[in-house]
Amino acid sequence: MPRISGVDIPDSKPIRIALRYIFGIGPKFADDICREANIEPGVRANKLTEDELASIAHILENNYVVEGALRRQVSQDIARLRDTRCYRGDRHRRGLPVRGQRTQTNARTRKGKKKTVAGKKGVKGH
């Protein structure tokens, strides 16, 4: 298994797909990296030479924020939002959707498992 930027990438997949296993590299960046390194995007990762792997690693190191540094940057950004007590930081703190999605229905991924509240239905006297 080839190892690029501290990540094992699958060797049976084309390099443009295998690069996406690195946190911070998506479809566009994977294609850009292949173009910059003069590597055919369809070639399998296990068919790459050491020089080509080194070239990709060099490009990643110099031009992209990936893996640990990117995770650290994202967590610092969220911590900054929390510390400034802004609306987005408040939503992060409460574990609710941050980008304006509805929450009356459909927010289960962010809110977690449903918490049933007792005694709502049987209110009489009105």
Whether residue 17 is found in the same domain as residue 45: yes
Per-residue pLDDT, 125: 63
User: 89 exposed, middle or buried (CB, 10 Å; 0-12, 13-18, 19+)?
Assistant: middle
Residue 115 has pLDDT above 90, yes or no: no
**Which residue range(s) make up the domain with 87?**
68-101
Cβ contact 11:18 at 8 Å: yes
Per-residue pLDDT, 123: 61
Residue 22 has pLDDT above 70, yes or no: yes
Residue 88 lies in a domain: yes
Tokens of 14: 């084309």
Residue 104 has pLDDT above 80, yes or no: yes
Whether residue 52 is found in the same domain as residue 77: no
Strands (E), 1-126: 3-4, 7-8
Contacts of 31 (CB under 8 A, 6+ apart): 16, 41
Residue 78 lies in a domain: yes
Residue 29 lies in a domain: yes
Residue 6 has pLDDT above 80, yes or no: no
Whether residue 16 is found in the same domain as residue 55: yes
Other C-beta atoms lying within 10 Å of the C-beta of residue 87: 10
Residue 106 lies in a domain: no
Alpha-carbon distance of 11 to 54, in angstroms, equals: 15
Residue 120 has pLDDT above 80, yes or no: no
Whether residue 60 is found in the same domain as residue 7: yes
CATH of the domain at 50: 1.10.8.50
Residue 80 lies in a domain: yes
Which pLDDT tens digit goes with each residue over 29-74? Answer: 999 999 999 999 999 988 988 999 999 999 999 999 998 999 999 9
Residue 73 lies in a domain: yes
Whether residue 51 is found in the same domain as residue 79: no
Alpha-carbon distance of 110 to 122, in angstroms, equals: 29
